[in-house]
Amino acid sequence: MISAGTTLRTMRERKPLVHQITNYVVMNETANATLAIGALPVMAHAREEVEEMVQIASALVINIGTLSERWIESMLLAGKAASARPIPVVLDPVGVGATAYRTDTARRILDEVDVTVLRGNAGEVATLVGAAAEVRGVESMSTGMEPAELARAAARSLGVIASVTGPVDHVSDGDRVLAVSNGDPLLATVTGTGCMSSALTGCFLAAKPEEPLEAAAEALAAFGVAAEDAATGAAGPGTFHARLYDALYALDPATLGERTRIEEL
């Protein structure tokens, strides 16, 4: 059942630990988004400790935004440990389609780890399902599929919940498709807001692991509501960015449900 407010309330009561192996660019930002929404972030990437850290975590977020060999090794170790427990795993395939290294790494993680939610932009997800896509660095420029169909196709072919973000977000388990239309254009002017949405997806999954489709959509809707609040009074990307943490922190479980715009297609 979709109820972002209930999931948020549960998360704030439990304060789940969300283990993140993410890129250098956004570590501070995803940790702060995690804290602001009400969960606890931990960043750990050494192969010597990732499996142990996974044992005390309630969700794992893997983000391939700045890759190198040792980090990939740790992502796989952590991902397998998470699959074994099991706890939910979010994969953010940053920049897939821009280089073979990123595409190959994302595929390898999807093969070897039981990924719960794949959260990416349309170009990244289209690349992973073998559809036409143009990815410029970490930006999706165009794809050959409608996003709702892309989400459904990705979920089916990759065996995940596919969470495709854009002006409207589409989340699918391969059967159902939920469209989320919260958000603000200023999100696209700040680096790492996609990565933040993946981190928040991990937080919501930790609070409602039994309904990952709903949890993934609720996370995007909650983030979008916060973005709407942050945009009010922001003078541009910098003040919007600061206000985004204020808004995540101020999200009210009692009213969140009325404000989310999640529609089943």
Sites of contact with a second copy (CB under 8 A): 15, 17, 19, 23-29, 31-32, 35-36, 40-46, 48-49, 52-53, 56-57, 65-70, 95, 98-102, 136-139, 189-192, 234-239, 241-247, 249-250
| Minimum distance, C-beta of residue 99 to a second copy, in the bound complex (Å) | 4
Residue number, 84 or 265, with CB nearest to a second copy: 84
Report yes or no: 59 and 206 within 8 Å, Cβ to Cβ: yes
Nearest partner of 106 among 139, 142, 79, judged by Cα: 79
Output phi, psi for 132, to 5 deg.
-65, 140
User: Residue 166 or 237: which CB sits closer to a second copy?
Assistant: 237
Interior CA angle at 32 toward 28 and 33, to 5°? Answer: 120
Q: How far is the CB of 200 from a second copy (least distance, A)?
A: 14
Length of the chain: 265
Cβ 38 to a second copy shortest distance, Å: 10
Rounded to whole angstroms, the Cα distance separating 181 from 176 reads 16
Q: How far is the CB of 89 from a second copy (least distance, A)?
A: 17
Angle at 169 between CA 11 and CA 72, to 5 degrees: 70
CB 87 to a second copy: min, Å: 14
Non-local (6+) Cβ contacts of 2 within 8 A are: 178, 214, 217, 218, 260, 262
The single-letter DSSP state of residue 27 is: H
Task: Give the residue with the Cβ less far from a second copy, 114 or 139.
Answer: 139
Give the Cα separation of 215 and 38 in Å (integer). 15
Min dist CB 233 to a second copy, Å, is 9
CB of 122 to a second copy, least distance (A): 16
Closest among 164, 160, 133, 140 to 151, alpha carbons compared: 164
3-state SS class at 39: coil
Q: Please give the structure tokens belonging to residue 7.
A: 């999931």
Cβ-based nearer residue to a second copy, 70 or 261: 70
Report the candidate in 81, 150, 145 with the shortest Cα–Cα distance to residue 118.
150
49 vs 263 by CB, closer to a second copy: 49
Closer to a second copy at the Cβ: 42 or 84? Answer: 42
Nearer to a second copy, 132 or 242 (CB): 242
